[in-house]
Amino acid sequence: MKGLLAGLSESLDVLGEDFEASQSVRQNSTTYVVGQMVIPTTSNGYVYRCTVAGTSGIAAPTWPTSNGHTVTDGTITWTTYARNDAAMFSRMEAAETEIQRLTGTRLEPTIIKMNPAEGDEYDLEEDPFDYQERHWKGWPRFKTRWRPIISVERVAVEWGEGSGLLSIPLDFVRLRKKLGVISLVPSGSAAAVTVGSGYHLLSWLGGTQRMGIVPQMVAIDYTAGVTDILSNPDYADLRECIVKEAAQRVIEAIIDAISRGATSISLDGLSESADVSGLAEQQRVMRESVEKFVRSYNQTMRAPRMKVL
């Protein structure tokens, strides 16, 4: 076990070296966005991540060599990561992205807009929902692509940005936040007007289209995501799933580093065999655990699918 752990330590170094080698060298007077990583012209064992976007200066800064320290470069701020830590960080980001995709759950509050106007601020842009005539003969119901829903800012039936046919009062909105379901139920003083005119208009509109469907015509702006994911007790199992997904990705990279070209590692003049079978089994168990969780999570946290016969 001691030899294997020592081998893993060296493999992490190999992993860090590979990660560092895959990064671009920082360039003068160049625009960088948040999340991009660079290395200095002369390698120093650290990777620098853009945490404030902007344009680099006309000369390289003095690069810090302590984890977490920042440096200003033109209008950019870089944050320092040891190359091994940066390799792990990149895999954690990849794990978060993958679990978000598989579960439809945003890990932080995210502003989502459809048909955004020029100058609008948002995090994600999505295509509008299709207008389906049969839905508007009852109470329209939409399943959002991301959840949990925090709030709905706008519901409109429109041909595109600035060409609306009908704006739905937000008083009509009913939410099942964790499931990501938005229902429109007319209520209040505007209900009779909407049902008497707007809904009839929409029914006629659908009737003029093939199969009563108009593509991408219902725009809903909403905010979705988990608030305080690190401490929210309702999502403890989701946090654990993300950690397992990141861990299995790290183990996969370590196995690749150990297995590349040879199965032995030289340490302090000694040759020790690095058997990767134990690591491969750990990776398999973690991957299966993630897959099982995602299936269970989606069964319990997603709205049921319904068919009209």
State the pLDDT confidence band at 309, using cuts at 50, 70 and 90. very low
**pLDDT tens digits, residue range 63-93?**
999 988 999 999 999 999 888 777 777 888 8
- Tell me the percentage of the chain whose pLDDT exceeds 70: 77
The string of DSSP codes covering 45-81 is: SEEEEEEE-EE--SS------STT-EEEETTEEEEEE
Question: What is this structure's pTM?
Answer: 0.69
Mean pLDDT for the stretch of residues 288-302: 91
- Give yes or no for a contact between 142 and 130, defined as CB atoms under 8 angstroms apart: no
Token pair belonging to 230: 């690190």
Task: Give the pLDDT of residue 245.
Answer: 92
Phi-psi region of 96 (alpha: psi -120 to 50; beta: other; left: phi over 0): alpha
Q: What are phi and psi of 125, to 5 degrees?
A: -110, 135
Token pair belonging to 103: 């579960």
Q: Strand runs (DSSP E) across the chain, as ranges?
A: 24-25, 31-32, 37-39, 46-52, 54-55, 70-73, 76-82, 110-114, 124-126, 129-132, 141-143, 149-158, 164-167, 173-176, 181-184, 213-224, 264-267, 270-273
Average of per-residue pLDDT values in the chain = 81
Q: What are phi and psi of 100, to 5 degrees?
A: -60, -45
Please state which of the ranges 12-26, 240-254, 263-277 shows the lowest mean pLDDT: 263-277
Instruction: Report how far apart the first and last C-alpha atoms of the chain are (Å, whole number).
Output: 61
Task: Give the pLDDT of residue 123.
Answer: 95
Does residue 149 carry a pLDDT above 90? Answer: yes
Does residue 184 carry a pLDDT above 70? Answer: yes
